[in-house]
């Protein structure tokens, strides 16, 4: 069986191409985010997988939930997903769409894991530093991991900077183990 991302990729590309053509990346991002939230809901998965519900009924149901948050083309896209029995992949489609969007807008995504919550000034300083190093705008996702004891871990693509106390202790332990 094909991986979900492999199946979702052509739909994400089609949505991205349409968003670029319309000049509405933000709107499409919001629509796909909404669809992702809807299909990720446990109760909605039961509705989506209900064999008694026709594709037309499911489309009408989802269209009613979304209301005016779906454009005409977004509504058509939803119908295509439902007819192809791919609506359950909306979360994967959204993730792939956002990756294409970040690449097009030259935005780097960075995960910042710290031992304690950082204030806005600290996050801004780290963002500015990484932005200069990578030569692109940065979106930072912050997370607190109490197991780090102190310091931070920064992940940008394949690069990892481990400036945590836990990481340093593990390094020291491996030196002593030799």
| Per-residue model confidence as pLDDT tens digits over 104-140 | 877 777 888 888 888 889 888 888 888 887 777 888 8
Domain boundary among 102, 127, 146: 102
Domain boundary among 102, 125, 150: 102
Residue 58: other Cβ atoms inside 10 A: 20
Task: Count structural domains, the chain.
Answer: 2
Query: Looking at the structure, do residues 88 and 150 belong to the same domain, yes or no?
Result: no
Chain-wide mean pLDDT for the chain?
A: 86
Contact indicator for 126, 163 with CB cutoff of 8 Å: no
Domain membership of residue 141 as a residue range: 107-177
Domain boundary among 75, 102, 129: 102
- Residue 141: in which H helix or E strand, if any? strand 137-144
Query: Looking at the structure, do residues 37 and 15 belong to the same domain, yes or no?
Result: yes
| pTM of the entire predicted model | 0.64
Residue 37: the pLDDT is 92
Residue 97: the pLDDT is 92
């Amino acid at each position: 069986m094909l991986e979900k991302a492999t199946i979702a990729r052509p739909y994400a590309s089609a949505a991205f191409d349409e968003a670029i053509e319309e000049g509405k990346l933000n709107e499409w991002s919001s629509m796909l985010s909404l669809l992702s939230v809807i299909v990720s809901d446990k109760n909605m998965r039961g509705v989506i997988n209900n064999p008694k519900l026709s594709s037309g009924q499911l489309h009408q149901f989802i269209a009613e939930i979304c209301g005016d948050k779906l454009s005409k083309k977004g509504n058509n896209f939803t119908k295509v997903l439902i007819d192809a029995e791919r609506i359950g992949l909306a979360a994967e489609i959204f993730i792939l769409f956002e990756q294409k969007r970040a690449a097009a807008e030259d935005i780097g995504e960075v995960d910042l894991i710290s031992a304690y919550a950082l204030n806005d000034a600290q996050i801004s300083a780290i963002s500015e530093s990484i932005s200069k190093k990578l030569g692109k705008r940065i979106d930072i996702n912050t997370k607190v991991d109490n197991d780090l004891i102190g310091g931070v871990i920064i992940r940008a693509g394949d690069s990892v900077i481990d400036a945590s106390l836990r990481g340093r202790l593990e390094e020291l332990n491996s030196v002593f183990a030799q």
